[in-house]
Amino acid sequence: MASQIEVAPVMPSRLEVRPIAGHLGAEIEGVDLSRPIAEEVVAEIRAALLRWKVVFFRDQSLSRAQHVAFGRLFGEVTPAHPTLPAAFPEHPEILLLDSKVSEEWGQAEIESRWHTDVTFVPNPPMGSILHGVVIPPYGGDTQWTNLAVAYERLSAPLRDLIDGLHAVHHNALPVARGEGQSEYEKKFRAQDLSAVHPVVRIHPETKEKVLFVNPNFTSHIVELSRQEGRHLLAMLYEHMTHHEFTARFRWAPGSVAFWDNRSTAHLVPTDIAPGMHRAVERITLAGETPVGPDGEASYAL
């Protein structure tokens, strides 16, 4: 008699997508990320991600293995970080972002600036998935901005100018205090990593033009003098974080945020009150090499 194999039930499609802001951000209801998910539901989540740039799931009870398994439905899950160590040897894909560890390592001395994840490598992550594990009763919200809409809202002469420019990104950190390196800086800068990216990239799936600079990792513009580049970048940074393009997410235990790293920037919260604890765990998905409107691809320095 042939043995019977028990197959876990696959969830039917019953998603509800509820936008939270005008230009990006939507909460998705009707899916348990800890269970097997049908292909059509994965496709619905991807479509919502491409439309809203960052999607959120509430009340998810995820193990670390389930967190990684969910990510693999959308692409290759990368190691936790190019330089920072993984906190969990059994799950080297997971980066722990813990306010208590941050205090010990001196991460609190690093300025929080808008950034797109890991742009100092030639193929930054396609997306990031963050799981809220320990959430304080207030504070600790994360903000995102839509870099496709930000590009669209620039004047035509500015769009024409930046379509042909390229910028160097490197893994430097903006330090908010005096001399000496913190433990966090030492780990983050264990390797000197730099890449050249188009200032505007073509999104490989939506074909949108997207601003692809950020004040955390972008150093300078290749084709301009340093003075010219500083002024242009300062204007772009001010423009891309206009409140109209942004959304803010209030975390709760079990919340999950999944953002398209190719078309957004985000801001790490700094308003966690003394004595409160916030711990979130992040995985990243392997990304394509960015290509600009001029057809030039990113490359490592």
115 token code pair:
């950034």
**Which of the residues 166, 203, 266, 278 is marked catalytic?**
266
According to DSSP, the β-strands at 142-146 and 127-134 are unpaired
The verdict on whether 166 is a catalytic residue reads no
The verdict on whether 23 is a catalytic residue reads no
Residue 268 to residues 66, 107, 129, 262, Cα–Cα distance (Å): 24, 12, 14, 17
Quote the CA–CA distance of 171 and 116 in Å, as a whole number.
12
Q: What share of the chain is helix, strand, coil (3-state, %, to 5)?
A: 25, 25, 50
**Which of the residues 98, 117, 203, 262 is marked catalytic?**
117
The verdict on whether 282 is a catalytic residue reads yes
Quote the CA–CA distance of 148 and 257 in Å, as a whole number.
19
The verdict on whether 177 is a catalytic residue reads no
Is the distance from CB of 249 to CB of 41 less than 8 angstroms? no
**Which of the residues 46, 81, 131, 282 is marked catalytic?**
282
Quote the CA–CA distance of 298 and 123 in Å, as a whole number.
8
Quote the CA–CA distance of 54 and 19 in Å, as a whole number.
10
101 φ, ψ (degrees, to nearest 5): -65, -40
**Which of the residues 81, 115, 169, 262 is marked catalytic?**
115
Catalytic positions are 115, 117, 266, 282
